[in-house]
Amino acid sequence: MAIGYSTILIVAAALALGCAAVLSIISRRKHRAKACAQCGKRSSHGYSRAGKAERNETVPLCVDCLLKQLDEDYCTYDGKAVVVQPVAELPCYVFRPKQDWSEAVRNDLEGILASLEAQCRSCGQPPRYAWVNALEAAPVTKLPSLGIRQSLLTAANAHPVALCARCTVRRIEHSLTAQEGGYLEICGPYGGDDGVVTGMGY
């Protein structure tokens, strides 16, 4: 039986709407710009002391004030962490302690931190962070199930980079300033447990 032209148009429209819906789900929900809570300038991101904050618990901060806060968080953190480069498509960039992750992530975390180089690759100071490059969101979203190595370190030349706190924040700054839009939530490492800082969506 021949399919009418109007039927084809209806099916095409439904497919287009479906694709748009999928894209809206996976795309980053933008941070709504407010006045920075510390200096009054236009805010770029929402900051929280710990991950999974409610929307009304995040503090709006401009980039400059956010980086000062992250510098304090990374410098005063008592543990060690793997830090995945921020990617633009995910709405949150947060720390999770080791116990919150799957066995695959915990095993990779322990192995990477155990083999951390003795000096920061950028300045020579003692390192506490292992930086992992990430250029797009898709591999990052697979990290919770596949682990760090299988999701982000499969290439032969992909290796974590040992960094001190300040050099880690500088790399985060470079990534944030190259992106458009803002994170709904960013939090630095906290407490004394080792963990992972990465982009997430929830």
pLDDT in tens, the chain (202 residues): 444 545 544 444 444 444 344 334 444 455 566 899 999 999 989 999 876 655 568 999 999 999 999 999 999 999 999 999 999 889 999 999 999 999 999 999 999 999 999 999 999 999 999 999 998 999 999 999 999 999 999 988 899 999 999 999 999 999 998 887 789 999 999 999 999 999 998 6
Q: What confidence score (pLDDT) does residue 55 get? A: 58
Measured CA to CA, the distance from residue 53 to residue 1 in angstroms comes to 56
Are 177 and 62 within 8 A, CB to CB? Answer: no
Closest of 8, 67, 12, 6 to residue 36, by C-alpha? 67
Annotated domain spans of the chain: 30-200
Measured CA to CA, the distance from residue 155 to residue 149 in angstroms comes to 10
Instruction: Report the predicted TM-score, pTM, of the whole model to 2 decimal places.
Output: 0.82
Residue with tokens 């039927």: 7
- Indicate the burial class of 150 (C-beta count within 10 angstroms; 0-12, 13-18, 19 or more): middle
